[in-house]
């Protein structure tokens, strides 16, 4: 059962990473708007010439 | 001829309308046409495909947005960010996610914009921009041009607090979810060890790890419940939070004791799961209620950005409304909001008091009369001498009155609270008794049996039973288009026995229609209607709606609107006046609309309002649900009687003052009835607050919505009947859940007290009973879909 001694800490580290990633996503406002990004994918019109892309990438942040 | 609808805002295009040559769509006004043209030109045409609700009509009059660039405003409402400043503002036209999408894209195209986020749920737009490259007013002009009128949000500090509160909740939920997953995984290993073959050190290692993982879940994620328990204990009132936090702590500390003692079973997994599920249920419920309050609240508190004050020498300056003092003279342009209460100077003016009364028809004010802050000046500018500012205004006083009335409303002891309180008390007494009993009979089993008793009794199922149903019910209500702003609203609505509609406007469509035409002096009725229609064609006055259905046959020239009197103009080389009797036809004013030439009367139109299309069906559905329907209106006898008859309402009372209405509600309550009130005006605030539960129509006054327990998101009345149905269903489910929990406890507790329940059976029973309760609540979502189909 020695493998447990390795796997258990790894699972704890992963848990810590997952929580840190989630906290980062929440702080960055990835969950502030859950409705609009869903529409982005439906808009297949190419951005017009000279149209500037929105500076902040708005891909939905689905946490860990 | 089918009515053409505006391509942009979906409003019917009056008369011939304007057909845009380029794209062949019909538009109601230049504003909409310009907005649509810009959208197409900017390659944002997908907006029309993506949207699920029509846009706002674009206001033709240009807004004065210059004041948004002023330093005082920026200091108070924006904050410095890297490379520029950031402001949060409100808008009233965001109706679906596509609007937010459009705003994001449109603003991103403007030079100098760093970042934007628009949120259709809360009606807020966050703009970060570089003041060196772009002026805020230019960006807002783009918004206004698309039909989204900007309003000041509640201030930088409150906006930030709102956002960080929401993020904190999300983080709590995330930690609870991830932590429970881990704890469950570790608990699984312990569960699978059925024959206790695991060496004690390994088992203890697993237990201590579970302890480690569940500690942040219980204390960080579960903090709202713990804090709630502390509050309730301080107030000496055992409630839901005590039950929740109590059972979580019980499972947690009992497990800790067992871990230290090396006992047979631990229940960490139950503790964390419980926190996670309850947190999720509470968040769903809160989210549904936040949607209702976020927008309503802020719009109700919306103030004009700046007021134009007249100096002693007649020159003007613009100042923040907070700088106004009694005695100042302010100027209000047409279309602007009155910044403070004041006495009207100079000429007559029209004011729209929708914010106060929910009545969108402008009212007429003469010099010397008082005009209230929050009303909108119509048609022409006005001058006021300020009499009250800030919290002394009638608007603020009404808002305070509403808050007060709500606070004084007797708190409804919620069913689960009542049951929970007794349950906790009884259980604690029982536990002590059982411990004492076993102590005498078999001291070595006393702790184990007491623990099993506390675990198997599972306050969890009991405390889950209500939040789970509430979360499902709020979801179902939101799908129907009804938002509840207060937690106890559903319970009361389910118990309501009487429903009172507080004004005719709630049941009628609010648009005047021609009831009859009387003609004089040889004019035939059809010609009279055609002349009136030509005169009113381009009028924004509500009366114009009564003639909108007439096909245009004649052209009117030199049409002039006379505020408070009517319109006059030339039709087929004759001069006509349409409006009040004393002005148009030299007769005594009788409330009808007269057509004449100033001396002679030629026709008289009687206008009346139609019941809404769904009013009759709603009244019928409500009656079928066993509710008594009443109508208490401030209007005159005849229209009220007509409406009541058309809808089949027996108990209709006309000419009711707010006091009369309140007395009526009180009388019903004295008979032991539970009264639901439906209304949309704030002048009836005492009535809305006095009723047991109140419903405000979505298009009514924002302040009235602030006062109400439930707000509908649209004008449809049928939603009220649906809301009653959902409320009753959820009440039934809560009952079933409580009954199940009670039955389960009646069976399990005696067994546990007798020492017949082993800890693992206790844990299983605890999990199953919670699961049954949750699944039962989910039936609400399914039933709702079935009924909706």
Check residue B730 and give its pLDDT.
84
Q: Which of B68, B123, B55 is nearest to B90 (CA)?
A: B123
- Identify whether B670 is part of a domain: yes
- Identify the residue with better confidence: B736 or B702: B736
Burial B404-429 (b: 16+ CB within 10 A, else e): ebeeeeeebebebbebbbebbeebee
Same domain for B345 and B208: no
SS3 assignment for B68-106: HHCHHHHHHHEEEECCEEEEEEEECCCCCHHHHHHHHHH
Check residue B409 and give its pLDDT.
43
Ranked by mean pLDDT, which of B140-149, B280-289, B373-382, B484-493 comes out on top? B140-149
Looking up residue B639, the CATH number of its domain turns out to be 3.40.50.1000
Q: Where are the beta strands (DSSP E) in B92-199?
A: 113-119, 124-129, 150-152
Sign of the alpha-carbon dihedral angle for B274, B277, B281, B284: positive
Same domain for B276 and B314: no
Q: Is the pLDDT of residue B286 over 90?
A: no
Residues in A whose CB is inside 8 Å of some CB of B read: 1, 4, 8, 11-12, 15, 18-19, 22-23, 26-27, 29, 31-33, 35-36, 38-40, 42-48, 51-56, 58, 63-64
Same domain for B633 and B485: yes
Same domain for B292 and B199: yes
- Identify the residue with better confidence: B427 or B302: B427
Lowest mean pLDDT among B67-81, B640-654, B772-786: B772-786
Check residue B221 and give its pLDDT.
93
Give chain B's mean pLDDT: 77
Long-range CB contact pairs, B24-33, < 8 A, 24+: B28/B57, B29/B57, B29/B58, B29/B60, B30/B60, B31/B57, B31/B58, B31/B59, B31/B60, B31/B145, B31/B147, B32/B6, B32/B7, B32/B8, B32/B57, B32/B58, B32/B147, B33/B8
Q: Which two tokens stand for residue B547?
A: 């003639």
Q: In the structure, what pLDDT confidence band is assigned to residue B348 with cuts at 50, 70 and 90?
A: confident
Q: Tell me the HSE value of B745 on the side-chain side, using a 13 A CA sphere.
A: 22
Residue range B358-384, pLDDT digits in tens: 555 677 788 888 888 877 777 777 888
Q: How far apart are CA B244 and CA B300, in angstroms?
A: 35
Check residue A56 and give its pLDDT.
41
Q: In the structure, what pLDDT confidence band is assigned to residue B495 with cuts at 50, 70 and 90?
A: confident
Q: Which of B151, B148, B141, B146 is nearest to B31 (CA)?
A: B146
Check residue A62 and give its pLDDT.
39
Lowest mean pLDDT among A7-16, B140-149, B439-448, B462-471: B462-471
Q: How many domains would you assign to chain B? A: 4
Check residue B160 and give its pLDDT.
76
Check residue B171 and give its pLDDT.
93
Looking up residue B182, the CATH number of its domain turns out to be 1.20.120
Residues B536-553 have a mean pLDDT of: 70
Q: How many CB pairs (< 8 A) connect A and B?
A: 95
- Identify whether B722 is part of a domain: yes
Q: Which of B691, B713, B728 is the last residue in one of the domains?
A: B728
Q: Is the pLDDT of residue B457 over 80?
A: no
Ranked by mean pLDDT, which of B12-21, B30-39, B409-418 comes out on top? B30-39
- Identify the residue with better confidence: B200 or B321: B200
Check residue B699 and give its pLDDT.
61
Same domain for B212 and B327: no
The answer to whether B90 and B69 have CB atoms below 8 angstroms apart is no
Same domain for B644 and B503: yes
Q: Which two tokens stand for residue B693?
A: 């539960």
Q: Is the pLDDT of residue B18 over 70?
A: no
Ranked by mean pLDDT, which of B62-71, B642-651, B753-762 comes out on top? B642-651
Check residue A64 and give its pLDDT.
37
Q: Which of B106, B129, B153 is the last residue in one of the domains?
A: B153
Same domain for B375 and B261: no
Q: In the structure, what pLDDT confidence band is assigned to residue B408 with cuts at 50, 70 and 90?
A: very low
Lowest mean pLDDT among B2-16, B232-246, B515-529: B2-16
Q: In the structure, what pLDDT confidence band is assigned to residue B177 with cuts at 50, 70 and 90?
A: very high
Q: Is the pLDDT of residue B353 over 60?
A: yes
Same domain for B314 and B176: no
Q: How is the beta sheet containing B508-519 ordered, strand by strand?
A: B508-519, B601-611, B593-596, B574-579, B566-571, B556-562
- Identify whether B41 is part of a domain: no
The answer to whether residue B502 is catalytic is yes
Of B241, B269, B341, B502, the active-site residue reads: B502
Q: Residue B96 sits in which domain range?
A: 66-153
Q: How far apart are CA B245 and CA B233, in angstroms?
A: 11
Whether residue B82 lies within 8 A of chain A, CB to CB, comes out as no
Give the residue carrying structure tokens 């536990």: B431
- Identify whether B241 is part of a domain: yes
- Identify whether B101 is part of a domain: yes
Residues B587-606 have a mean pLDDT of: 78
Lowest mean pLDDT among B218-222, B327-331, B677-681: B677-681
Residue of A34, A35, A64 to mutate for B, most B C-beta atoms under 10 A: A35
Residue of B46, B101, B122, B123 to mutate for A, most A C-beta atoms under 10 A: B101
Q: Which of B123, B153, B183 is the last residue in one of the domains?
A: B153
Looking up residue B94, the CATH number of its domain turns out to be 3.30.70.100
Rg (chain A; Cα; Å): 19
Same domain for B207 and B193: yes
pTM: 0.61
The answer to whether B503 and B684 have CB atoms below 8 angstroms apart is yes
Check residue A18 and give its pLDDT.
94
- Identify the residue with better confidence: B398 or B253: B253
How large a percentage of chain B has pLDDT more than 70? 79
Q: Which of B666, B652, B692, B716 is nearest to B503 (CA)?
A: B652
Q: How far apart are CA B610 and CA B88, in angstroms?
A: 41
Residue range B556-588, pLDDT digits in tens: 777 777 766 778 888 877 888 888 777 877 777
- Identify whether B257 is part of a domain: yes
Q: Which of B502, B413, B472, B437 is nearest to B774 (CA)?
A: B472
How far does the CA of residue A62 sit from the closest CA of chain B (Å)? Answer: 12
Whether residue B202 lies within 8 A of chain A, CB to CB, comes out as yes
Q: Which of B615, B367, B638 is nearest to B505 (CA)?
A: B615
Q: In the structure, what pLDDT confidence band is assigned to residue B116 with cuts at 50, 70 and 90?
A: confident
Q: Which two tokens stand for residue B265?
A: 């079973």
Cβ–Cβ of B117/A45 closer than 8 Å? no
Same domain for B618 and B492: yes
- Identify the residue with better confidence: B284 or B618: B618
Same domain for B321 and B221: no
> Alpha helices of B682-717 — where are they, by DSSP H?
685-690, 702-707
Q: What is the DSSP string of B261-279?
A: HT-S---HHHHHHHHHHHH
* Burial of B381: CB neighbours in 10 Å, binned 0-12, 13-18, 19+: middle
- Identify whether B450 is part of a domain: no
How far does the CA of residue A8 sit from the closest CA of chain B (Å)? Answer: 9
Q: Is the pLDDT of residue B98 over 50?
A: yes
Sign of the alpha-carbon dihedral angle for B416, B418, B423, B425: positive
- Identify whether B706 is part of a domain: yes
- Identify the residue with better confidence: B289 or B486: B486
Q: Is the pLDDT of residue B743 over 80?
A: yes
Q: Is the pLDDT of residue B511 over 70?
A: no
Looking up residue B363, the CATH number of its domain turns out to be 2.70.150.10
Q: In the structure, what pLDDT confidence band is assigned to residue B185 with cuts at 50, 70 and 90?
A: confident
Same domain for B292 and B170: yes
């Amino acid at each position: 059962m020695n493998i447990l001694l390795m796997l258990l800490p790894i699972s704890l580290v992963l848990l810590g990473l997952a929580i840190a990633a989630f906290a980062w996503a929440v702080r960055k406002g990835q969950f502030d708007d859950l409705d609009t990004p869903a529409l982005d994918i439906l808009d297949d019109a190419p951005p017009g010439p000279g149209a500037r892309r929105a500076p902040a990438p708005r891909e939905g942040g689905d946490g860990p | 001829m089918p009515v053409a609808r505006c391509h942009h805002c979906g409003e019917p295009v009056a008369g011939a309308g304007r057909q845009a040559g380029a794209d062949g769509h019909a538009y109601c006004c230049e504003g909409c046409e310009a907005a649509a043209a810009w959208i197409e030109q900017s390659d944002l045409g997908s907006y029309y495909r993506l949207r699920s609700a029509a846009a706002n009509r674009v206001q033709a009059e240009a807004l004065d947005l210059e004041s948004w660039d002023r330093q005082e405003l920026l200091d108070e409402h924006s904050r410095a960010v890297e490379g520029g400043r950031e402001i949060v503002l409100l808008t009233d036209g965001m109706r679906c996610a596509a609007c937010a999408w459009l705003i994001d894209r449109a603003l991103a195209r403007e030079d100098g914009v760093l970042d934007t986020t628009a949120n259709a749920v809360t009606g807020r737009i966050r703009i970060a921009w570089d003041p060196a490259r772009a002026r805020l007013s230019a960006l807002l002009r783009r918004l206004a041009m698309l039909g989204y009128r900007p309003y000041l949000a509640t201030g930088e500090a409150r906006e930030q607090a709102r956002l960080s509160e929401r993020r904190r909740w999300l983080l709590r939920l995330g930690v609870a979810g991830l932590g429970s997953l881990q704890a469950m995984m570790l608990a699984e290993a312990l569960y699978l060890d059925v024959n206790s073959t695991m060496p004690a050190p390994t088992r203890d290692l697993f237990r201590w790890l579970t302890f480690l993982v569940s500690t942040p879940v219980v204390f960080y994620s579960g903090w709202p419940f713990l804090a709630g328990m502390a509050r309730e204990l301080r107030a000496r009132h055992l409630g839901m939070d005590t039950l929740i936090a109590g059972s979580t702590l019980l499972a947690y500390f009992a497990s800790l004791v067992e871990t230290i003692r090396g006992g047979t079973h631990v229940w960490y997994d139950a503790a964390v799961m419980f926190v996670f599920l309850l947190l999720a249920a509470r968040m769903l419920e809160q989210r549904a209620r936040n949607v209702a309050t976020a927008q309503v609240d802020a719009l109700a508190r919306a103030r004009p950005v700046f007021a134009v004050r007249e100096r002693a020498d007649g020159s003007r300056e613009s100042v923040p409304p907070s700088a106004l003092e009694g005695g100042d003279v302010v100027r209000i342009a047409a279309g602007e909001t009155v910044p403070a209460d004041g006495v009207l100077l100079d000429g007559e003016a029209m004011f729209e008091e929708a914010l106060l009364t929910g009545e969108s028809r402008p009212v007429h004010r003469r010099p010397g009369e008082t005009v209230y802050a929050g009303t909108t000046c119509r048609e022409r500018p006005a001058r006021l001498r300020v009499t009250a500012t800030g919290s002394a205004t009638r608007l603020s006083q009404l808002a305070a009155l509403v808050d007060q009335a709500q606070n004084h409303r007797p708190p409804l002891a919620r069913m689960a609270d009542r049951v929970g309180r007794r349950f906790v008390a009884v259980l604690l007494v029982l536990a002590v008794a059982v411990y004492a009993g076993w102590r005498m009979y078999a001291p070595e089993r006393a702790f184990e049996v007491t623990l099993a008793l506390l675990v198997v009794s599972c306050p969890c199922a009991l405390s889950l039973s209500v939040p789970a149903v509430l979360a499902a019910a709020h979801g179902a209500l939101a799908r129907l288009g009804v938002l509840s702003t207060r937690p106890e609203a559903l319970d009361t609505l389910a118990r309501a026995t009487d429903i009172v509609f507080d004004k005719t406007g709630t049941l009628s469509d609010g648009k005047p229609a021609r009831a009859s035409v009387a003609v004089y002096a040889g004019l035939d009725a059809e010609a009279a209607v055609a002349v009136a229609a030509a005169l009113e064609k381009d009028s924004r006055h509500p009366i114009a709606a009564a003639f909108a259905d007439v096909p245009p046959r004649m052209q009117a020239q030199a049409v002039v609107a006379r505020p408070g009197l009517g319109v006059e103009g030339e039709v087929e080389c004759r001069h006509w006046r349409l409006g009040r009797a004393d002005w148009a036809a030299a007769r005594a004013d009788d409330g009808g609309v007269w057509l004449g030439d100033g001396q002679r009367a030629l026709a008289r139109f009687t206008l009346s309002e139609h019941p809404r299309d769904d009013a009759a069906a709603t009244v019928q559905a409500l009656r079928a649900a066993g509710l008594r329907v009443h109508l208490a209106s401030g209007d005159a006898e005849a229209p009220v009687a007509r409406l009541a008859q058309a809808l089949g309402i027996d108990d209709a009372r006309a000419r009711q003052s707010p006091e009369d209405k309140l007395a009526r509600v009180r009388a019903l309550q004295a008979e032991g009835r539970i009264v639901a009130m439906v209304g949309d005006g704030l002048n009836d605030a005492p009535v809305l607050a006095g009723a047991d539960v109140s419903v405000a129509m979505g298009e009514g006054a924002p302040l009235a919505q602030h006062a109400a327990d439930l707000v509908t998101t649209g004008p449809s009345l049928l939603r009220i009947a649906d809301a009653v149905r959902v409320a009753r269903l959820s009440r039934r489910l809560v009952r079933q859940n409580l009954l199940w929990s009670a039955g389960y406890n009646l069976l399990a507790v005696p067994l546990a007290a007798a020492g017949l329940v082993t800890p693992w059976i206790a844990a299983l029973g605890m999990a199953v009973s919670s699961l049954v309760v949750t699944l039962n609540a989910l039936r609400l979502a399914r039933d709702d879909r079935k009924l909706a189909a």
